[in-house]
Amino acid sequence: MELQNIPRVFFGALAAFLLILFLPAASHAWQSGEEAAITLGADAQDDAAIAQRLEQIYAEIPALGRVDVAVRQGVVFLSGETATDAAGDRAVLIARRVSGVVTVEDTIERTLDIEGNVSPFVLDTQQFFTRLARSWPVYVLVLAVFCLVVLAGHLLASWRGFWSRVAPNPFLGRLLSQSVRVFAFALAVFVALGMLGATALLGALAGMAGIAGLALGFAVRDTIENYIASILLSVRQPFRASDHVVINAHEGVVVRLTSRATVLMTLDGNHLRIPNAEVFKGVILNYTRNPERRFEFELGVDAEDDPVAAMETGLKAITRLDFVLGDPAPNAVIVKVGDSSIVLSFTGWVDQTDTDFLKARSLAIRAAKAVIEEEGFTLPEPIYRLRFDAPVGEALQTRAASAPRAKPARRDQVPQSGETTDVTPDRYLERKVIEERAERDTEDLLDRKNPVE
């Protein structure tokens, strides 16, 4: 467990508790509702009774002691002076609550003097500290409970051995531990406000947090989508490290899976980062899951040749290659018949564990082409029909008759069946991936203990 972080957690909890301590004083601003009207009785609806009742009320409030009241026909005229705007507005509000009042005319002068504005603040501060001094045992108890709940959540979240056994991978374990920290802090705030009697403020804060969370969710929805995709990919992994994959037309070798992106090393040796949201929703082709892979190529023969004999000849050449698997056996089919050629398709299987796919395919093409030409089959060439006028045609015929006959081109040497060929795989990218994965300070969510889909 991270015991060195306990002092930091303690001071953070203390700061949060002090904030909670001062919030109940402001919680009254959140409490709203209709107040009952001030009644005078059945026989006190005249102007004099209204004026007398308001004067008695104002006399009991120090800030409104200099307010004068006059009432005529249910209309209340307020004059005099108050030290602050708030006091004047309060006098008007009180007058409007008295039954029988039609309207209120406000002519109160707001003096805004220093003494009248500073004294209430000083008095309220003194009363606050007086209440704090009397009730300090309660605040100490609330502080102790708050810190204990936060500290318990921090210690539980820092218990790496527990989360490694509970979560299927380290990434999900960190996510659960952080959730425990947040839940413990929220529980501590709820308990502290409940013990201080400020549950109404807690509801207001919860509403504000909900609105802020909704706005934040819309703002970072792409990040959240990647985060959720990372969780799903780490639990049900579609590939392993060092797998040769194609993800949405991006080909490369898997280096690592982070909390935001999947890192590939392309066949050119470059790093490619694909957001996990695209990987989770994309089409993934994995060449490594099944080491046996089929190659395919096409060759054409002249339309006058026997295509079946050409297929048998090419298959014999491919079968003699040591790196071509016997099971499944190579195969050949006729793809199409054109105006001047017949296109044949040859297929064969190789084991990518000890054979390079591209090298094997290249050597198979070479062997089949050489044997087919050796057996007398003609590989078709493009044919063009040219039509010339009579003078040009006669001149070309005369020039062709006088030109010396060219020697026949020498046929390329046909490879023998026992010829040694190098088809070993290129391990350079694999070595580079292993070197990068050996770095311990990099994040990786791929784990061989988890299932692969």
Residue whose structure tokens are 């705007």: 85
Does residue 314 belong to any structural domain of this protein? Answer: yes
Residues 93, 75: one domain?
yes
Residues 385, 303: one domain?
yes
Residues 392, 440: one domain?
no
Does residue 415 belong to any structural domain of this protein? Answer: no
Strand 75-82, strand 103-106: pairing: parallel
Residues 265, 206: one domain?
no
Does residue 108 belong to any structural domain of this protein? Answer: yes
What was the pLDDT predicted at 451? 65
307 Cβ neighbours under 8 A, 6+ residues apart: 301, 334, 342, 344
Query: Both tokens of residue 200?
Result: 């109404």
Residues 270, 296: one domain?
no
Closest CA to 294 of 355, 370, 369, 368: 355
246: left (phi over 0), alpha (psi -120 to 50) or beta: beta
**Cβ(143)–Cβ(196) below 8 Å:** no
Residues 345, 298: one domain?
yes
Tell which of 166, 198, 218 closes a domain.
218
Rounded (10°) CA dihedral 67, 70, 73, 76: -10
Residues 268, 183: one domain?
no
Residues 314, 381: one domain?
yes
Tell me the CA distances in angstroms from 27 to 21, 35, 127, 136, 197, one per residue in order.
Answer: 11, 17, 17, 20, 10
Residues 348, 299: one domain?
yes
Residues 354, 382: one domain?
yes
Domain region containing 58:
47-117
What does each of the 453 residues of the chain score in pLDDT, given as a tens digit?
444 455 555 555 555 555 555 554 444 433 444 444 555 544 445 788 888 888 889 888 888 888 899 988 889 999 988 888 888 888 899 988 888 888 899 888 888 766 666 666 777 787 777 777 777 777 788 888 888 888 888 888 888 777 777 766 666 677 777 788 888 888 888 888 777 776 666 677 677 777 777 776 666 667 778 778 888 888 888 898 889 999 998 999 999 988 889 999 999 989 999 999 999 999 999 998 899 999 999 999 988 889 999 999 999 999 999 999 999 999 999 999 887 889 999 999 999 988 999 999 999 999 999 999 999 898 887 666 677 666 765 666 666 566 555 444 444 444 454 455 788 888 888 888 888 888 766 677 787 766 676
Distance CA 419, CA 101 (A): 115
Instruction: State the burial class of residue 102 (Cβ atoms within 10 Å of its Cβ: 0-12, 13-18, 19+).
Output: exposed
Does residue 90 belong to any structural domain of this protein? Answer: yes
Number of domains in the chain: 4
Residues 181, 208: one domain?
yes
Query: Both tokens of residue 286?
Result: 């994995």
Cβ neighbour number for residue 74 with a 10 Å cutoff? 14
Does residue 417 belong to any structural domain of this protein? Answer: no
CATH number of the structural domain spanning residue 385: 3.30.70.100
CATH number of the structural domain spanning residue 72: 3.30.1340.30
Residues 110, 157: one domain?
no
Is pTM beyond 0.85 here? Answer: no
**Cβ(311)–Cβ(330) below 8 Å:** no
Tell which of 176, 197, 218 closes a domain.
218
